[in-house]
Amino acid sequence: MRSLSIIALLAALALIGAGCGGDDDSSSGNSGSSSSNTSTTKQSSSGGGGGGAAQTLKLSADAGGALKFDKSSLTAKAGKVTIVLDNPSSLPHAVELEGKGLEEKSGTIGQGQTTKVSADLKAGTYEYYCPVDGHKAAGMKGTLTVQ
Ligand SMILES: [Cu+2]
């Protein structure tokens, strides 16, 4: 009878020991979840730094001798947009941006020069064209889509 009660005591001690081990496991699990919280904070801060950057779109007044820009369509995200125009042709050119009540014109440039036009754009469709006489009618125009 005495040996049975000792075995029962040992069994009870073993159960307590197992209970303590279980507590250790759950506390290490908590530290694991707190480290994953730290990485979530890092991701959200890097995402915030990416917004609001100014955009630059390149446009060329040369289209193999024809009165056309090298691109008949451009796309940008809403915000500050700058169109940079270069002029490799022997004729004077410029770029004007128009739409949604906005009208912005660059300077007129000769061969080998560059100019630019900037505007704060909302989502929608804008038109860009060369304001030099007769150039728009000849086909020197395009569409800027702002998303
Ligand atoms: Cu032109």
- pLDDT, average across residues 36-44: 38
Instruction: State in Å: Cα 128 to ligand 1 middle.
Output: 11
Instruction: State in Å: Cα 92 to ligand 1 middle.
Output: 6
Rounded distance between C-alpha atoms, residue 38 and residue 110, angstroms: 56
Instruction: State in Å: Cα 117 to ligand 1 middle.
Output: 15
Q: Name the DSSP letter for residue 69.
A: -
pLDDT, tens only, 49-79: 345 678 999 999 987 778 999 999 999 999 9
Token pair of 139 as six digits: 């086909």
Question: Which protein residues have their CB within 5 A of the ion that is ligand 1?
Answer: 93, 130, 132, 135, 140
Instruction: State in Å: Cα 22 to ligand 1 middle.
Output: 79
Instruction: State in Å: Cα 32 to ligand 1 middle.
Output: 64
- pLDDT, average across residues 91-104: 97
- pLDDT, average across residues 11-29: 48
- CATH numeric code, 50-146: 2.60.40.420
Rounded distance between C-alpha atoms, residue 10 and residue 103, angstroms: 90
Rounded distance between C-alpha atoms, residue 4 and residue 8, angstroms: 6
Does pTM top 0.85 for this prediction?
no
140 CB neighbour count, 10 Å cutoff: 24
- Please report the pLDDT score of residue 51 as a whole number: 52
Token pair of 79 as six digits: 């915000």
Assign 29 a pLDDT band (cuts: 50, 70, 90).
very low
Instruction: State in Å: Cα 29 to ligand 1 middle.
Output: 68
- Please report the pLDDT score of residue 68 as a whole number: 96
Residue 10 has pLDDT above 90, yes or no: no
- Please report the pLDDT score of residue 140 as a whole number: 97
Instruction: State in Å: Cα 110 to ligand 1 middle.
Output: 10
How do the residues of the chain divide into helix, strand and coil, expressed in percent and rounded to 5? 35, 35, 30
Instruction: State in Å: Cα 31 to ligand 1 middle.
Output: 66
- Please report the pLDDT score of residue 127 as a whole number: 98
Handedness of CA 31, 35, 37, 38 (dihedral sign): positive
- Which residue from 109, 101, 100, 104 is spatially nearest to 132, judged by alpha carbons? 109
Token pair of 88 as six digits: 């490799």
